């Protein structure tokens, strides 16, 4: 199938990897470096039009595919006149079929039945792409690579592609593919088996808004600057929620067994998601069953999205947005404002530290935040009793949900935060 691709469409740093057939390909680095745009929005479409390849695009949790990977590819198809008529997009099944018969499938590793049932109309799966690969654990990776079975057409080689920000040096990906020994100044490694390309926003300047660039360049937090601005493998400092404070489980069997559910909502819009968390308390455990949200949602959309989850239950919201709360009420949501005192957040953390938080494995966004949420450091590098105010939307929604319970407790807000037993970060969930 002949489609003209102008070379300037591709970002310089990626263009030479457009036809790369190396079996394992790692595109990692800082935020906004164009990794997802190139691999999902461009190369996958380029390849499928050339024929012989079927794609399986994976994230750890199925529902996160729809708003990320599926969106990225469909947006790319829809924005290009010459592509639009060449693809059939099935939004219900999350499949994209090219008029030459080759297909793109999307699946979450939490949906083994769907994974088993994936069978291309023509040929076999030749490519697996793991978006946000640091969410995925080693065993799931080993299991899923078995999907690359069967005979391929001449000239086609099977590939596995990883896309991610290097959140933690103790991650299995670092041990497995970076041989536990990678110079952060290196940007390229290539042999017959493995390609590693590191990029940062500096490789994608022409496609970024000045405010995105400023945000990355003015990042003050050492960890976020290292990982998201400079694309270096991260080393975590002092986590707010250590491994003794929380864990991940499959709660699907018990999620409807509680009498009293607590809901919390953090408002976002363009850059931050609006985030809902639904949980319950039993004994010494806080069970988190559901996290749901998205960017660009107005209050009508928020209501439409959350009402099927919370029904007639109350939802505690950020009191900084009284107008939004008022509008939600107008749309039938029983919304309440959280009363926040000066030390509210510290108090909430101390209160939560008295419990074990058990998070359902589908609440990926909350898991990602709990994995890396840290205390700020002073100029001597010592932790202070103030968490980093970043990537904490779902955590905010969680303590809003719990706020009515937190208020009942009498904890001295100025007391030092409990530092429970330190556990090495390599034991993080999914690592
Ligand atoms: N070749 C391109 N043409 C037009 N826009 C582009 C191109 N490459 C990247 N962009 C834009 O640059 C921005 C950042 O790209 P992208 O989301 O792919 O980065 P990323 O490396 O995946 O970031 P993250 O690590 O945060 O996921 C997006 O708005 C994307 O649409
Ligand atoms: Mg990306």
Confidence (pLDDT) at 415? 40
Q: Measure 70 CA to ligand 2 centroid, in angstroms.
A: 12
| Nearest atom within ligand 1 for CA of residue 164 | 25
3-state secondary structure of 428: coil
Confidence (pLDDT) at 342? 85
pTM of the predicted structure, to 2 decimals: 0.86
Confidence (pLDDT) at 111? 87
3-state secondary structure of 216: helix
What is the DSSP code string of 255-323? Answer: TT--S--EEEEE---SSS-EEEEEEEEETTEEEEEEEEEESS--HHHHHHHHHHHHTTSEEEE-TT-HH
Residue whose C-alpha is closest to residue 372's, from 239, 196, 204, 186 = 239
DSSP lists the bridge partners of residue 246 as 357
Residue whose C-alpha is closest to residue 138's, from 103, 170, 106, 167 = 170
What lies within 8 Å, CB to CB, of 48 at 6+ separation is 54, 55, 98, 100, 102, 103, 104
Q: What is the DSSP letter of 374?
A: B
Residue with CA closest to ligand 1 atom 14: 32
Beta strand pairing status for 375-377 and 274-282? Answer: unpaired
Pocket of ligand 1 (CB under 6 A): 9-11, 31-37, 165, 204, 207-208
Residues in the chain predicted with pLDDT less than 70, given as ranges, are 1-3, 409-431
Confidence (pLDDT) at 215? 95
* Burial class of residue 100, CB neighbours in 10 A (0-12, 13-18, 19+): middle
Q: Measure 1 CA to ligand 2 centroid, in angstroms.
A: 28
């Amino acid at each position: 199938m002949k489609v003209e691709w102008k070379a300037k469409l591709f970002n310089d740093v990626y263009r030479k990897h457009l036809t790369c057939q190396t079996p394992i390909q790692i595109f990692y680095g800082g935020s906004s470096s164009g990794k997802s745009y190139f691999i999902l929005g461009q190369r996958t479409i380029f390849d499928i039009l050339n024929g012989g390849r079927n794609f399986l695009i994976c994230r750890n949790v199925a529902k996160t595919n729809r708003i990320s990977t599926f969106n990225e590819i469909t947006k790319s198809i829809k924005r290009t006149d010459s592509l639009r008529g060449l693809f059939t997009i099935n939004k219900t099944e999350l499949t994209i079929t090219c008029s030459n018969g080759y297909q793109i499938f999307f699946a979450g590793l939490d949906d083994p039945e769907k994974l088993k049932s994936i069978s291309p109309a023509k040929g076999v799966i030749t490519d697996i792409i793991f978006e946000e690969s640091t969410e995925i654990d080693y065993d799931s990776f080993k299991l899923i690579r078995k999907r690359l079975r069967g005979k391929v057409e001449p000239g086609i080689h099977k590939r596995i592609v990883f896309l991610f920000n290097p959140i933690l040096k103790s991650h299995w990906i670092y041990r497995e593919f970076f041989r536990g020994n990678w110079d952060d100044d290196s940007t390229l490694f290539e042999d017959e088996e493995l390609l590693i390309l590191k990029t940062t926003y500096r490789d994608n300047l022409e496609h970024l808004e000045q405010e995105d660039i400023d945000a990355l360049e003015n990042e003050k937090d050492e960890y976020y600057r290292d990982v998201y601005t400079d694309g270096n493998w991260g080393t975590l400092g002092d986590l707010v929620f250590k491994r003794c404070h929380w864990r991940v489980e499959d709660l699907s069997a018990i999620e409807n067994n509680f009498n009293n559910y607590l809901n919390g909502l953090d408002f976002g819009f363009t850059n931050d998601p609006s985030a809902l968390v639904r949980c319950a308390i039993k004994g010494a455990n806080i069970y988190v069953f559901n996290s749901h949200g998205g960017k660009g949602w107005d209050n009508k959309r928020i209501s439409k999205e959350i009402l099927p989850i919370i029904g007639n239950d109350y939802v505690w919201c950020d009191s900084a947005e009284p107008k939004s709360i008022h509008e939600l009420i107008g749309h039938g949501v029983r919304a309440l404002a959280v009363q926040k005192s000066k030390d509210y957040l510290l108090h909430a953390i101390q209160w939560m530290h008295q419990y074990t938080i058990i998070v359902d494995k589908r609440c990926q966004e909350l898991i990602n935040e709990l994995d890396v949420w840290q205390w700020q450091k002073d100029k001597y590098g010592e932790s202070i009793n103030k968490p980093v105010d970043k990537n904490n939307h779902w955590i905010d929604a969680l303590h809003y949900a719990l706020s009515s319970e937190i208020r009942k407790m009498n904890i001295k807000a100025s007391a030092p935060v409990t530092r429970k037993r330190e556990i090495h970060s390599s034991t993080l969930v999914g690592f």
